[in-house]
Amino acid sequence: MIGNGEDSLWAWQWNEELSVSEEQQLEELKELLAEALNPYVVAAIKKLWRNDVPSK
Model pLDDT for residues 32-44, shown as the tens digit of each residue: 777 676 677 777 7
Structural domain contains residue 33? yes
Answer whether residue 13 is part of any domain: no
Residue 45 lies in a domain: yes
47 domain-assigned: yes
Name which residue leads in pLDDT, 39 or 25.
25
Cβ neighbour number for residue 52 with a 10 Å cutoff: 6
Give domain status of residue 39, yes or no.
Answer: yes
* Measured distance CA(17)–CA(55) in Å, rounded: 27
Per-residue burial over 16-49, b = 16 or more CB atoms within 10 Å of its CB, e = otherwise: eeeeeeeeeeeeeeeeeeeeebeeeebeeeeeee
Answer yes or no: is 42 within a domain.
Answer: yes
Q: Which of 51, 55, 43, 32 is nearest to 2 (CA)?
A: 43
pLDDT reading at 4 higher than 70: no
The residue segments making up the domain with residue 27 are: 20-52
Q: What domain count does the chain have?
A: 1
For the chain, percent of residues with pLDDT exceeding 90: 12
pLDDT for the residue numbered 56: 56
Give the pLDDT mean for 4-8: 58
In a domain, 8, yes or no: no
Quick check: is 36 in a domain? yes
pLDDT of residue 21: 93
